[in-house]
């Protein structure tokens, strides 16, 4: 029996958008479900887009990037208010929402405003925002419902003094002091932003370090920058209680320490937004964090039901989610796809300063027993770095010691999330430092750092060869 659509996508974030549009490009009948006020998903409305827009507004208004040139007291706007920050964020959200709706319309994807739940493995009921319900049968279903902030048991969130990432974006004023609980990506990004605004930030993390999936040298550089901006780290510490005293708080740590602050921001991870799906009616379940298990083709335990994006867990990045959505739609209709293991996935952390990397870390290469050499270029050695006023940035290459192949690229500083893609491309075609040494880069640019770092790595390898050859 023919269903209503060939592909039904639940969620219009990056993963859902790309799944729906890919299905449409294959000539399929496609519908996508999203609540009316959340077109673009968490990414556009409460996550990636607003947080990165907030970051750019803060970097500009505080004049941080120009302080090495004009002095440490330089600011574009002496008094920065929430209204200043909110204005830019809302404008970007509105424009991005328009772009997404236009893309869906142009590709003839039906957008249904409502909330979806399973009736059976092939059927979903949509509670429409406008009232009533619509039942849709689908040959294939893609779940791209995303995540929501995890709220630890026993913590009373009031949206003002005790907040999560959604509440932080709705602050009424910039707090003079803030405790950030959790040194993950989200916690670090917001900690660095608020510190740049002059907020006294204390970051509490139960682990002994942070960002253990990143290059250790890059992470240490970030910690140095954050300390310079007044961030206090409390590693190996757990929060046991938060007291509210009017408009202020006291955070109690397991060690007995107490921290006074205007607000406490919990960045305790995220939980799959699966509660309303009635997954059991489709024969599906979730783990303790609401995540859905999938195979290498993003199929769930029910073969025609796929799950993509943050709801399947790590790496939970918008860029990765987009590709997962596209590939899931292709798998659904038997189209050829590259194996997921062959994809070079870049990571971007939009702290101040930015961090980005692709490929292996030194720790991973050491564990794998791969002989490697490093090549480093520091922004202070580049004319462009001096022009931009960024003397702390750094690009680090990891190359195979025997054949010079590029194995990893790690960047911290201005434009890191853009710069990393040069290395990603070189790695994609199996290139190495010889290619980078022989390439002509525009001058002055930060991209020139690749040539400088490649020459550094080449010199190190040559030194070993020279000494070893003469022994």
CATH number of 55's domain: 3.50.50.60
Q: In this structure, what token pair is assigned to residue 3?
A: 């269903």
Q: Which residue range forms the structural domain that includes residue 227?
A: 162-268
Regarding whether 189 and 126 lie in a shared domain, the answer is: no
361-408 pLDDT, tens digit per residue, is 999 999 999 999 999 999 999 999 999 989 899 999 999 999 999 999
Regarding whether 143 and 15 lie in a shared domain, the answer is: yes
- What is the SS3 string spanning the chain? CCCCEEEEEECCCHHHHHHHHHHHHCCCCEEEEECHHHCCHHHHHCCHHHHHHHHHHHHHHHCHHHHHHHCCCCCCCCCCCHHHHHHHHHHHHHHHHHHHHHHHHHCCCEEEEEEEEEEECCEEEEEECCCCEEEEEEEEEEECCCEEECCCCCCCCCCCCEECHHHHCCCCCCCCEEEEECCCHHHHHHHHHHHHCCCEEEEEECCCCCCCCCCHHHHHHHHHHHHHCCCEEEECCCEEEEEEECCEEEEEECCCCEEEECEEEECCCEEECCCCCCHHHHCCCCCCCCCCCCCCCCECCCCCEEECHHHHCCCCCHHHHHHHHHHHHHHHCCCCCCCHHHCCCCEEECCCCCEEEEECCHHHHHHHCCCEEEEEEEHHHCHHHHHHCCCCCEEEEEEECCCCEEEEEEEECCCHHHHHHHHHHHHHCCCEHHHHHCCCCCCCCCCCHHHHHHHHHHHHHHHHHHHHHHC
Regarding whether 183 and 143 lie in a shared domain, the answer is: no
Give the integer Cα–Cα distance in Å for 128 and 134: 7
Bridge partners of residue 251, in order along the sequence: 242, 259
Regarding whether 210 and 124 lie in a shared domain, the answer is: no
Domain end position, chosen among 268, 302, 319? 268
Q: What is the mean pLDDT of the chain?
A: 93
Whole-prediction pTM = 0.92
- What pLDDT was estimated at residue 281? 97
Q: In this structure, what token pair is assigned to residue 186?
A: 């989200």
Regarding whether 284 and 141 lie in a shared domain, the answer is: yes
- What pLDDT was estimated at residue 15? 97
Regarding whether 129 and 23 lie in a shared domain, the answer is: yes
Mean pLDDT of 118-122: 97
For residue 432, whether the previous peptide bond is cis, meaning omega lies within 30 degrees of 0, is no
Could you tell me if 375 and 399 are in contact, meaning their C-beta atoms sit under 8 angstroms apart?
yes
Regarding whether 260 and 176 lie in a shared domain, the answer is: yes
- What pLDDT was estimated at residue 469? 67
210 domain-assigned: yes
Mean pLDDT of 294-317: 95
Closest CA to 334 of 107, 26, 78, 66: 26
Could you tell me if 376 and 459 are in contact, meaning their C-beta atoms sit under 8 angstroms apart?
no
Strands 305-307 and 133-143: parallel
CA-based R_g, the chain, Å: 24
Confidence band, pLDDT 50/70/90 cuts, at residue 471:
very low
**pLDDT at residue 155 greater than cutoff 60:** yes
- What pLDDT was estimated at residue 32? 98
10-64 pLDDT, tens digit per residue, is 999 999 999 999 999 999 999 999 998 899 999 999 899 999 999 999 998 888 7
CA atoms within 13 A on the CB side of 192: 25
Mean pLDDT of 437-458: 97
Give the integer Cα–Cα distance in Å for 331 and 440: 40
Regarding whether 453 and 381 lie in a shared domain, the answer is: yes
Domain end position, chosen among 225, 246, 268? 268
Closest CA to 47 of 318, 269, 313: 318
185: CB partners within 8 A, 6+ apart? 211, 349
pLDDT above 90: percentage of residues in the chain: 82
Regarding whether 407 and 461 lie in a shared domain, the answer is: yes
Burial degree of 195 (CB within 10 A; 0-12, 13-18, 19+)? buried
Supply the CATH number for residue 400's domain: 3.30.390.30
- What pLDDT was estimated at residue 322? 95
Mean pLDDT of 158-175: 89
Give the integer Cα–Cα distance in Å for 58 and 50: 12
Domain count, the chain: 3
402 domain-assigned: yes
Regarding whether 454 and 361 lie in a shared domain, the answer is: yes
- What pLDDT was estimated at residue 171? 86
348 domain-assigned: no
CA 254 to chain CA centroid, Å, is 30
Could you tell me if 111 and 104 are in contact, meaning their C-beta atoms sit under 8 angstroms apart?
yes
Domain end position, chosen among 318, 342, 366? 342
Query: Hunting for tokens 């932003």 — which residue is that?
Result: 193
398: CB partners within 8 A, 6+ apart? 359, 360, 361, 362, 365, 372, 373, 374, 406, 407, 408, 409, 410
- What pLDDT was estimated at residue 104? 96
Confidence band, pLDDT 50/70/90 cuts, at residue 237:
very high
Regarding whether 132 and 24 lie in a shared domain, the answer is: yes
Sign of CA dihedral 112, 115, 120, 122: positive
Regarding whether 185 and 111 lie in a shared domain, the answer is: no
Q: In this structure, what token pair is assigned to residue 76?
A: 């574009």
Mean pLDDT of 242-252: 93
């Amino acid at each position: 029996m023919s269903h209503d659509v060939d592909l039904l996508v639940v969620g219009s974030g990056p993963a859902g958008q790309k799944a729906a549009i890919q299905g449409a490009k294959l000539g399929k009948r496609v519908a996508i479900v999203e609540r009316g006020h959340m077109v673009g998903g968490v990414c556009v409305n409460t996550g990636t887009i607003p947080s990165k827009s907030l970051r750019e507004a803060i970097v500009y208004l505080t004049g941080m990037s120009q302080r090495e040139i004009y002095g440490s007291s330089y600011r574009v706007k002496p008094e920065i208010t929430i209204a200043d920050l909110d204005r830019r964020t809302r404008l970007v959200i509105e424009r991005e929402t328009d772009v997404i709706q236009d893309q869906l319309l142009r590709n003839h994807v039906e957008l249904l405003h409502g909330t979806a739940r399973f009736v059976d493995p092939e059927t979903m009921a949509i509670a429409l925002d406008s009232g009533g319900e619509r039942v849709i049968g689908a040959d294939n279903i893609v779940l791209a419902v995303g995540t929501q902030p995890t709220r630890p048991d026993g913590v009373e969130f009031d949206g003002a003094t005790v907040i999560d990432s959604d509440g932080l974006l709705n602050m009424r004023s910039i707090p003079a002091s803030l405790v950030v609980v959790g040194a993950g990506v989200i916690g670090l990004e917001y900690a660095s932003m608020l510190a740049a605004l002059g907020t006294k930030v204390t970051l509490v993390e139960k682990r002994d370090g942070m960002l253990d999936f990143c290059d250790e040298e890059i992470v240490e550089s970030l910690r140095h920058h954050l300390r310079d901006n007044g961030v206090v780290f409390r590693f190996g510490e757990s929060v046991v209680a938060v007291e509210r005293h009017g408009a202020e708080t006291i955070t109690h740590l397991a060690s007995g320490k107490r921290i006074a602050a205007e607000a406490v921001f919990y960045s305790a991870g995220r939980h799959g937004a699966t509660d309303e799906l009635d997954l059991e009616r489709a024969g599906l379940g979730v783990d303790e964090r609401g995540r859905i298990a999938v195979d290498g083709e993003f199929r769930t335990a029910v073969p025609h039901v796929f799950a993509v994006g943050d709801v399947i867990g790590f790496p939970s990045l918008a860029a990765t989610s987009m590709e997962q959505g596209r590939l899931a739609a292709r798998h659904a209709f038997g189209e050829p796809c590259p194996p997921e293991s062959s994809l070079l996935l870049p990571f971007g952390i939009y702290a101040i300063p930015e961090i980005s990397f692709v490929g292996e870390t030194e720790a991973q290469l050491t564990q794998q027993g791969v002989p490697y050499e490093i090549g480093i270029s520091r922004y202070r050695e580049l004319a462009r770095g001096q022009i931009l006023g960024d003397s702390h940035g750094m690009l680090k290459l990891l190359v195979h010691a025997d054949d010079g192949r590029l194995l990893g690229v790690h960047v911290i500083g201005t434009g890191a999330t853009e710069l990393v893609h040069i290395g990603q491309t070189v790695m994609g075609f199996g290139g190495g430092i010889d290619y980078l040494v022989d390439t002509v880069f525009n001058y002055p640019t930060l991209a020139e750092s690749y040539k400088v770092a490649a020459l550094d790595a080449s010199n190190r390898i040559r030194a070993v060869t020279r000494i070893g050859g003469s022994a």
